[in-house]
Amino acid sequence: MLGSLAIYCVLMVDYHTLRGWQSLDDVMFYIRGACRAVEFAVTLCMCGYIMATFYMEMTSVAGIVMLAIYTYYCIVQRGGKGWKIWMMRRQAAHKVQSLQSADSDDLETKKDLCPICYQLMESDVRIMHCKHHFHENCLKKWFYIQDKCPMCYAQFKTT
């Protein structure tokens, strides 16, 4: 419930800002991630308590096996999936940071729209190896999906 309230507050702040909040996607990701981490920790503690109860009371083997299966599918796999998403997001951010940043003179002469979000490129612009320009946040979202330029589909080159 607190996570939903935090997301609502963040969306209201974004709504009332004049040009929108550039890092809205990151803030939403961290709020949802924190909520899922707390949920994961509570579920893990609950399973530990149930396992300890089963061990102390010497309950049936079938109950212990069912709890072990539940723990694997509902906790271990979910934790692994969350870790994979976290790592993919970090890799996307590192890829964007490795790209050349566009200077203000280049942006003044170009006065172009970002091909991903269709907003004017005024700041936080990165240049791909194929010389296409994009907002940093737009590229982060794009690299989370694939490693190609959104315009010409040239493969991202690591340096």
What is the sign, positive or negative, of the torsion defined by CA atoms of 72, 77, 82, 84?
Answer: positive
Q: Which residue matches tokens 């906790």?
A: 75
User: Quick check: is 114 catalytic?
Assistant: yes
What is the sign, positive or negative, of the torsion defined by CA atoms of 145, 127, 121, 135?
Answer: positive
Measured distance CA(60)–CA(152) in Å, rounded: 61
Catalytic residue from among 9, 35, 45, 114: 114
Neighbours of 142 (CB within 10 A): 21
Q: Which residues are catalytic?
A: 114
